[in-house]
Amino acid sequence: MKTSSYLLSLALCAGNAVQAANWTVGQVVQTSSGQVTGHAAFPNVGVSEYLGIPFAVPPVDDLRWTAPVKYNGTSDINGTTFGFSCPAAPQVTPSLEKLAATNVTSSGLQILEQLGQIGDKFSEDCLTLNVWTKPQVGEAKKAVLVWIYGGAFTTGSSDNLGYNGQNIAEQEDVVLVSFNYRLGVLGFPGSPNGTQNLGLLDQRLAVEWVRDNVASFGGDPSRITLFGQSAGSASVDYYSYAWVEDPIVHSFIEESGSTFGPAGGLGAITSAAAETYWQNLTTTLGCGNSSSDEASALACLKAKSYTDVLQAAAASATNSGSGLSTSFGPTVDDVVVFANYTQRSLAGNFAKLPLLLGTADYEAGLFKVLSAFENITMSDAYWFLFDDVAFTCPCATRANVSISNDVPTWRYRWFGSFPNTEITTIPYSGAWHASELPALFGTFPSGSGVPNSTAEELEIASYIRGAWATFAKNPTDGLSTYQGGWPTYSPADVTLARIGYNNMTGANLARGNEYDGACSQIVSGNVVSGSSGNSSSPSDTSSTSTAPTASNLAPVGTVTTSSAELSRIQPLVTLALFAIAAMVLASS
């Protein structure tokens, strides 16, 4: 940590107790970005909401495709509205006929509209963050939760209504921070000799801003938990391997994503492939080819509008036979994203901080609908295998990495499925990918045609929200005594928390590897084999040893799936994981 940043943090911490005692909702807060004025959140009017705070110099014009630069300012900042969303992938609109054919519910329509970023305003000047806090009550120095949204690295924004942090700040006595990061070709360009993984570097800079400024909002910079879902969860895991020496944060929460899954290391692009995609882009935009001067080609591309760049990226990907989603995403540079996470794991070369991780019981419930928009339908067995390959087994592997290195680890499986969170009823969407987020953030769909929350749903939501906050406050011991106790994870023991299981509140513990019986062996980010399995009939397999060897980082399970079947599922994994980026729903 730089001395100036450290002194700033100390000064802000010293003034924090006085601020808390006399805190006025929405009061002006001095930050390294300037003086920020907030307002009362609605409906939680006791929560101070600060929106759209710049943490990086806008990456526009000549700064496009460069590493983020810290923003320092002294001007007044109006923190009452969200900043721009980072430009996402070009999107298409499913027809009303397709919506009807897939039986999307009123709840599902709201959820998919949020994921499709209906009503967002886009600009490259998008590197802003948001803070929700309630310093006038509770701890003088509160634990901090920093949220990273998902969206397959090609879409997503912190202004998504489903990610609003006011309910967590109101109910759990923590500070909640969210931020934007660059996406797609603008965040992961693949340019030769250029800086890669700009979106991940944006995330790091946002965390540095939180470290330096959160004390002024009543937060404790020594208790920061980084958490995310899907690509946001993979981002958390990337972070844990990239900033080993100075992680800043003190714990991680990973929801449905890791370096061992398709949204993580398995989906990372090689530098050679990234260069090819980039050269296809320059050719499409008339800025040269593989033999052109790199500096001239880059200058030409920087002169183009971002909308032209996004459209050309889609066209060049189509012409090259690769999907847009797989062309511009996290790229192996062996600085932020690495070629072999298994070896790094075995060497203990990652931030050994407490980890809470898990998956939804039926992740495929969302992807089946998105794939239906693409006129793709598959069997139930296929979707169960999809869940194993894309989510359950990577999660199990990542859990084994931590426990093999004696890191306090908690693992969950989300079973919550409620009338107002169902995307479809025929087929039943179940506990779909991201279905825990309405409960966690307290942002359930509501309005015309949407059922009210059930009493059980509200209790389960309170449980998961409290669990996440308890972990953030004390990641080494807090969950051990939380509402009856939740033990650290062990594959052989009754330590897996089944949240929302059979509509019950509490941990509802099961044997650690009870749902891993169909797991593939995953070595160096490559799916070797697997079998179709699901939550209704878990296999009874032997437990995984915790000794750190390559053979036992992967879960042990039956191996019945042929290589041909796996070769068929991998393209669909890629398609489904990134299908959200190709979807915008018309307002109903």
Run of H or E including 301: helix 294-302
Contacts of 519 (CB under 8 A, 6+ apart): 388, 392, 393, 396, 530, 554, 555, 556, 557
- The pair of structure tokens assigned to 541 is 């397999």
- CA angle 300–304–307, rounded 5-degree value: 150
Burial class (CB in 10 A: 0-12, 13-18, 19+), 63: middle
Nearest to 580 by CA among 339, 315, 193, 230: 230
| DSSP letter for each residue of 318-330 | HHHTS-HHHHSS-
Mapped onto helix, strand or coil, the DSSP state of residue 389 is helix
- The pair of structure tokens assigned to 356 is 């809470």
Burial class (CB in 10 A: 0-12, 13-18, 19+), 292: middle
Provide the annotated active-site residues: 230, 363, 433
One-letter amino acid at 78 equals: N
Q: Cα torsion at 337, 341, 347, 349 (round to 10°)?
A: 30
Contacts of 293 (CB under 8 A, 6+ apart): none
Nearest to 187 by CA among 276, 279, 309, 280: 309
Sheet holding 175-179, edge to edge: 39-40, 48-54, 128-133, 175-179, 142-148, 219-229, 251-255, 355-360, 409-414, 494-499, 509-511
- The pair of structure tokens assigned to 255 is 């929801």
Mapped onto helix, strand or coil, the DSSP state of residue 485 is coil
Nearest to 325 by CA among 269, 280, 385, 244: 269
Sheet holding 76-78, edge to edge: 29-31, 34-37, 76-78
One-letter amino acid at 452 equals: N
350-383 core/surface letters (b: 16 or more CB in 10 A; e: else):
bbbbbbbbbbbbbbbbbbbbbbbbbeeebeeebb
Q: Residue 273, Cβ neighbours under 10 Å: how many?
A: 16
How far is residue 532 CA from its own chain's centroid? Answer: 26
What is the Cα–Cα distance from 418 to 149, expressed in whole angstroms?
23
One-letter amino acid at 535 equals: S
Q: Which pairing describes strands 48-54 and 39-40: parallel, antiparallel, or unpaired?
A: antiparallel
Q: Residue 255, Cβ neighbours under 10 Å: how many?
A: 26
